[in-house]
Each structure stands twice: as C-alpha cells, then as structure tokens.
Copies of this chain bind each other. A is one copy, B any other.
C-alpha cells in the first residue's frame, strides 16, 4: 500500500512534472530536473531519519534480497566469518546467501519455537572474529520483531529494516549498515535504500560486480548506471509525506495505536489467535489464525467483499496476516477490527 495522498500527487504529475512537459519517467537521470528530485529525496530521508553525515545513503535497483549477497561482498573486508540471528524466513534467506561467501555463525535461533519468540540476550553467542552481525528487525511472515537494538560493541551491526523503516525513530549511529526494500514502507518494488557508514566501504571481495560495490555507488550518487528513477521519485514523495505528518515520532504514535488495538481485539477473543510472545510482537505484520481454521477461506472471501484486501497469510505459515504499514490508515485497522467482530458473531 502507498499513502493515498502520495498516489494522487503522483497521478496528477504523471504526464507533466511541475510544468516541465515531461513525465518523471521520461527524464534523463543526469538532467537538472531529475537531479533536483533525487537530491531532495535524499535530503528529506536524511532529515526524517536524522542520518549522520558519515553515512552514505544509496538508492539501489532491485530489492532487499539483492543485499543478501552485497553485504558479505562489501563488509567481510578480509574476514572469513559473519554472525547472523535466525528469527524467521527472511533471516534464513539472508543466511543461506551469506554462506556462499563466508562461514556463518548463528547468534540465536528461533527455529525451535516456530519463530514466536527471541531467546534472552544472555544466551546469544557472538563470534569475536565476525566481520559483522546481521539481524532482521521485523520478520514479516511470522510477525516477530526485535524490541531493542542488539549491542555488538565494535563489530558493525547490519539490519534488514525493510518493514520497519520510517515506522518510528531509530538511532542510525548504532548501525554499520541499514537496508530496506522499498515496497513495504517506502514506495514501489524494485528499489532498495542502503544507509552505510562510509568507513566500512572500499574493500570488496574479488569478483564483486561493479554495480554491487557500495563505494562505487556512493561516489556516483547511486548513478553509476541509470537508477530506478520513477521509484526513487515516488520514495521522495513518501519521505515528504512523512515529514508533513510530523516525522517519525508522529508515525510511531499512529503505528503503535494501530497495532495495539488490533492485538487487543485478537487477545480479547478466543475465536482469533496470535502465537507471538507479546514482547516481540510486530507493529507492522500481525498474523493470526482462526481457532476453527476451516473458516479461514470464508473469512478471506467476506473480508474481500468488505474491501479488506491482501489478508491471506504467507503460504509458509498460512492463516491470516494484517500488514499495517505506514500507508494503512487507522480507519483501515478499525474497519478490519469491526469486520472481525461481525464475522465472529456470525460464526463463533
């Protein structure tokens, strides 16, 4: 979902961007018009997230999954090992790809609890010789989210922030690298934002494609080749929308309220269930099941009739999943809660 104000603005500007007689899609990425769009988007993101100056902000084609290989290629820097948390499907994919480039040590593994909780930090096993520590802040399929930033001392911390970026304030200075596929909380698919401390760059693995070298991308302003210009532009509209709403503190208030009320509705009912440890429940993705799971197909069909779309859980876990990213207005969550109550009255 994208904010409806952003979509309307994009539609309005689609054939003629601000009197230029060109669509943004038709602009040369090196032209004065597009350069201003790209720079403004970066400036707005830096402002909204309070990104320190010693961090590069990259707008790269493809999504977060492309970073699963680019991170070891760029950040191993002569070391042979990296530490990964395994807290769900996205962690697992990141780990599988990293193993093609280095030894992977698992810091903590939630497989045995079906990714419903994260073990206490006293049990975490870091390696002294890890090049970096990677974690997935929020697992979108399982609805499992870290409640705090792991402390990794001098070892750079790398975070997949795809589904939580812009949802609340975060202290960027705690990270070596943050990456986020655009299609959750930012813009359309096919773009990934990478925020990386510049002192970590410049020592890639042999065979790293030039376009996968973060330093090359930083030095060219993410324009070593033609970037995903339209997605970058739309992302900029979203950054501006967040600013206008009051920034990340305001977004956090809205998002916490949305999540709290949906979890409260689920927990108040024995008809619906969410299996995740309350401490680690996601603000963004709320999976739940029906106690009588034979009713799920009915639930989804009737929800669709009420305009409540894309509620089917990921095929890996089944059930229902409400993804309530930034662009989902609070009244959308209210509508879902009302529908759930009505459905329960009818079938419960």
Contacts and interface: CB of A to CB of B under 8 A. Distances in A.
B65 A181 contact: no
B231 A190 contact: yes
A189 B22 CA distance: 15
Interface string A323-339: 00000000000000000
A183 B10 contact: no
Contact of A66 (B187, B225, B230): B225
A209 B212 CA distance: 10
A7 B21 CA distance: 13
Contacts of A307: 21
Interface in A7-64: 7-8, 10-11, 14-15, 21-23, 25-26, 28-29, 31, 61-64
Interface string A166-186: 000000000000000101000
Contacts of A15: 4, 7-8, 11
Interface in A139-191: 181, 183, 187-191
A22 B309 contact: yes
Contacts of A226: 63, 65, 181, 183, 189-190
A271 interface: no
Interface string A190-209: 11000000000000010101
15 contacts: A7-B15, A7-B23, A10-B14, A11-B11, A62-B225, A63-B226, A65-B211, A65-B224, A65-B225, A66-B211, A97-B209, A181-B226, A183-B226, A189-B228, A190-B228
